[in-house]
Structure 1
């Protein structure tokens, strides 16, 4: 299932968007692209779409099961443009998006499929879900100079915090049920990260609807989509375990020589299990038991 571009996918492959949830994976490079796609297939997404340059390769099994869209992910606002186009083509469908070398976790994901989780979330009258992008990094940068290792992965067990999100249109008063979240490598190495990119919150799940628009900062044009909970109780949140920041810091000439290791006294091995993320407070089960 291959498409020459976004327009062809939205025309010839539109039927694949009718039965959600749909995972949209954007490949910035080929690092762990195959494991990213397989991880989301195993979570139970009905459709997995890979947006990737034409010269990137895929193993044979994924060629048969993934919708591959030839797409220049390096263009300015490429992800934003593609997500908004898919939103317009699939009203009412639950959509999720991420980059390669990013792995979704949600409460009890080892025993419950993603459509079960979204069914419950929908019953709570929620049309979006907040996710925290939790930075992963290789424990040994000499052995893994690109900072990516699934077998020896670490994360920060503390150092996360939230600030009120000011409403510019309302004299900078805090927005209701919205916060800006920080932590991980983007906090520890903030001198190398532009200020608009330091947040770790992302509205990763959303139900498509006409006119909805994804903003550059991973929020949406509908303010209710940007809330972490409904007015009456806490809701589910998810985590996206991501090597993306570590990769960028080691690839960037302005930061790579300043970093011999990402490990510090608050590093802990990543266990690849939702229980660890729940225990660290990096996602919330809400009322789902």
Structure 2
């Protein structure tokens, strides 16, 4: 089903927001759109909704099974506007969001659906889940100049760290159970990345509620949503394996010609399996097994 605008969808297609979890895919360009949508369908989302320009094409099997909303991502507050309006229309539903060429991985995702994981997470009285954006990049930028290759994808196996998140008061106390996470290409090539965009943490899975708002920095106006765990033990975390940063670094004229390869001594082939991410400590199962 295709809708000509977000207003059209919210007026005519709200039945799609009755059952969750739902996935929102924000399409910025025409790279790996079909594979992104298929990946999240296979994860078990009740609905996959693509926000994408009208000029982009979809494979027939995808076009017949996803909800498509004509939407331009290159205007101010495009991400926040789309997500916040869906939040208002889908109270109490679990919502996930990502961009094209990004793929969600969570513990044991090969054998368990996203609904099963979120059911457990809900039982632990959690309404949001921390996800790390793990950069993927092609092994050979000469062969793959846009830095995207599913078959030859690599990731950094180390170089990730966290800093306390200050509360913004004059004393700059650290916020409770909140950290700013860094690593990947945004860390290794930080001279090409604005300081405000170097973090790799994102609250990509959350439960909608009245008044909830996502902000430009991918945090929410309710502080508990921004925490990495509950006060009494560790919780599940997930990863979004993403070509987005690699694409941007090779597309931006300021960095395109300065970067000949993304590989370094800590690069490893991406195995497209949650076990690799668990072994590297990039996701954790918490109390779920």
Tell me which interval the TM-score lies in, with the shorter structure as reference length. over 0.9
2:165 aligned counterpart, secondary structure: strand
1:204 aligned counterpart, secondary structure: strand
Deviation (angstroms), 1:56: 0.5
1:2 aligns with 2:23: no
Deviation (angstroms), 1:171: 2.4
Find the aligned partners of 1:169 and 1:229 in 2 and give their Cα distance.
23
1:282 aligned counterpart, secondary structure: coil
Structure 1 partner of 2:101: 101
1:277 aligned counterpart, secondary structure: helix
Q: Which runs of 4+ in 1 moved over 4 A?
A: none
Structure 1 partner of 2:51: 51
RMSD (Å) for aligned C-alpha atoms: 0.6
2:11 aligned counterpart, secondary structure: helix
Deviations 1:234-257 (A, max 9, x none): 000000000000000000000011
Moved more, 258-267 or 166-175: 166-175
Superposition pairs of residues 67-216 of structure 1, within 5 angstroms: 67-169=67-169, 171-216=171-216
- Structure 2 gaps of 5+ residues are none
Deviation (angstroms), 1:13: 1.1
Find the aligned partners of 1:197 and 1:189 in 2 and give their Cα distance.
12
Deviation (angstroms), 1:170: 6.5
Structure 1 partner of 2:242: 242
Structure 2 partner of 1:286: 286
Deviations 1:45-93 (A, max 9, x none): 0000000010000011111110000001111110111000000000000
Find the aligned partners of 2:193 and 2:244 in 1 and give their Cα distance.
13
Structure 2 partner of 1:277: 277
1:65 aligned counterpart, secondary structure: coil
Find the aligned partners of 2:104 and 2:173 in 1 and give their Cα distance.
32
1:169 aligned counterpart, secondary structure: coil
Find the aligned partners of 2:233 and 2:241 in 1 and give their Cα distance.
26
Structure 1 partner of 2:61: 61
Find the aligned partners of 1:222 and 1:17 in 2 and give their Cα distance.
22
2:163 aligned counterpart, secondary structure: strand
Structure 2 partner of 1:218: 218
Deviations 1:130-167 (A, max 9, x none): 00000000000000000000000000000000000000
Aligned length: 289
Find the aligned partners of 1:170 and 1:11 in 2 and give their Cα distance.
46
Deviation (angstroms), 1:169: 3.4
Deviations 1:2-57 (A, max 9, x none): 10100111111111111000000000001000000000000000000000010000
